[in-house]
Each structure stands twice: as structure tokens, then as C-alpha cells.
């Protein structure tokens, strides 16, 4: 991969990561509920899910999702159900007293990693999108493994920076929220965003993914 191609991909990676989606919503929700330090575990899970998506494309399984209506539909509706589940949890979240250690209470690091992983791993639209985009930056005459390694490293670094920004922004909201009413209203806004993401994913047909 030449520097020119890598710089072009770097620009594409920023556009992809900055685009609002389920990962951004999950990051802001984690920052809101747990603060930046503890909410960072959600980002770790998101990157593991992103790596799985790239591995799926590299292994050629992405072509199966693009060609099999059943495989695409099953994974898509799992993703819809999971996003709706996150929306329900956010809606029912109990307001808590905001203090310096608030972000360390609640869900464990493992549960946040799992949550982030499932948000990205259950999005077949992203896999099919990568299947369409990534080959444009590959040189078929050169070894593919090093190229995919560069692509994966670039995407993970960029996405980590972007999701850290989303998480940190929401954590600042946590720092100024004091009343249960403020927390409840903000939590329900994020609940609505999760439901909106679920609805959007449910309406995307395989041919348009």
C-alpha cells in the first residue's frame, strides 16, 4: 500500500467513523452513564467488533452476507433487537446521585466490552459496506495480509479517537447533571436515539446495504 493510497483511506476512515451511527450512540450513552474512564471499556468492545467486521470481509464471508438474503436478514434483525434492548435499558435507567466516583459504579468492564462488541458485530450493513469500500484501497498484486493489517490498524486508531470524543463529550454532560429530572430527560433522549438506530437498521434492505 503506497502512502498516497493510505492517505486516501485515512480520509475515508475519518468520514466513516464520524458518521453518526449505533457506535456513536453507544459511546455517548456510556459516557453519560459511566463517565470517560469507565465508559472507555465500551470503546474497547466497539473496536473488537470492528476488527471482527474487517476479518469477516478479509475472509470473504462478507460476500455471503451480500449474496444470502437469509444470512443478512438473521444478523440484521439480531442487531435491531439488540439496539431496541439498549433503548429499553436506557429508558428504564434509574437516576443516580452524581459524584466523582459515579462513573465507576454500575456495569462491569466486561459487560461494557460485550455491549460495545455486540453493537458493531451485529451490524451486517457495516460488513457489506466494508466489502464494497475496502477492496478499492487494496493492491491485488501485492500480499493482502499486510494491507488488511494496515487497514485494520488505521480504522481502529481513528475510530478509537472519534469514539473517545463522543464518550468524553457525554461525560461532560454527566458532570453538570445534578437533578434526577435532568438525568431522566437525557437518558430518554439517548433511549430514543437507540430506538431510531434500530428502526433505521430494520428499514435497510439487503440490496441497498
Mean pLDDT of all residues belonging to the chain: 76
Lowest average pLDDT, out of 115-119, 131-135, 140-144, 174-178, goes to: 174-178
Q: Is 179 left (phi over 0), alpha (psi -120 to 50) or beta?
A: beta
- Would the pLDDT of 161 be above 90? yes
Mean pLDDT within 28-34: 82
- Cα 95 versus chain centre, distance: 25
H helices present in 60-143, as ranges: 61-67, 69-92, 109-121, 124-133
- C-alpha distances in Å from residue 172, one per residue of 3, 36, 67, 69, 103: 37, 9, 44, 42, 12
User: What distance in Å separates the CA atoms of residue 7 and residue 194, rounded to the nearest whole number?
Assistant: 33
Q: What is the pLDDT of residue 2?
A: 79
User: What distance in Å separates the CA atoms of residue 155 and residue 149, rounded to the nearest whole number?
Assistant: 10
Higher-confidence residue of 41 and 105: namely: 41
Q: What is the pLDDT of residue 104?
A: 43
Query: What's the chain's length in residues?
Result: 209
Q: What is the pLDDT of residue 125?
A: 65
- Would the pLDDT of 21 be above 70? yes
| Beta carbons within 10 angstroms of residue 117's beta carbon | 20
**Most confident among 18-22, 43-47, 83-87, 169-173 (mean pLDDT):** 43-47
- Would the pLDDT of 186 be above 80? no
Q: What is the pLDDT of residue 100?
A: 43
- Cα 24 versus chain centre, distance: 6
Q: What is the pLDDT of residue 46?
A: 92
Q: What is the pLDDT of residue 103?
A: 45
Mean pLDDT within 8-35: 80
H helices present in 93-143, as ranges: 109-121, 124-133
- Would the pLDDT of 157 be above 90? yes
- Cα 122 versus chain centre, distance: 10
User: What distance in Å separates the CA atoms of residue 57 and residue 15, rounded to the nearest whole number?
Assistant: 19
Range of the domain at 21: 3-208
pTM, two decimals, is 0.70
The domain tally of the chain equals 1
Residue 139 DSSP class: -
Amino acid at each position: 500500500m503506497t502512502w498516497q493510497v493510505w492517505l486516501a483511506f485515512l480520509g475515508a476512515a475519518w468520514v466513516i467513523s464520524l458518521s453518526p451511527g449505533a457506535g456513536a450512540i453507544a459511546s455517548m450513552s456510556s459516557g453519560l452513564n459511566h463517565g470517560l474512564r469507565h465508559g472507555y471499556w465500551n470503546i474497547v468492545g466497539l473496536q473488537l467488533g470492528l476488527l471482527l467486521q474487517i476479518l469477516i470481509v478479509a475472509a470473504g464471508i462478507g460476500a455471503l452476507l451480500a449474496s444470502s438474503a437469509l444470512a443478512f436478514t438473521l444478523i440484521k434483525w439480531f442487531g435491531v433487537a439488540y439496539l431496541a434492548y439498549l433503548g429499553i435499558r436506557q429508558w428504564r435507567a434509574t437516576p443516580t446521585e452524581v459524584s466523582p466516583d459515579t462513573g465507576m459504579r454500575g456495569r462491569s468492564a466486561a459487560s461494557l466490552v460485550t455491549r460495545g462488541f455486540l453493537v458493531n458485530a451485529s451490524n451486517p450493513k457495516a460488513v457489506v459496506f466494508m466489502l464494497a469500500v475496502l477492496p478499492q484501497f487494496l493492491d491485488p498484486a501485492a500480499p493482502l495480509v499486510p494491507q488488511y493489517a494496515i487497514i485494520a490498524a488505521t480504522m481502529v486508531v481513528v475510530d478509537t479517537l472519534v469514539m473517545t470524543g463522543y464518550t468524553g463529550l457525554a461525560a461532560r454532560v454527566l458532570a453538570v447533571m445534578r437533578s434526577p429530572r435532568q438525568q431522566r430527560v437525557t437518558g430518554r433522549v439517548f433511549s430514543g436515539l437507540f430506538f431510531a438506530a434500530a428502526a433505521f437498521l430494520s428499514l435497510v434492505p439487503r440490496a441497498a446495504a
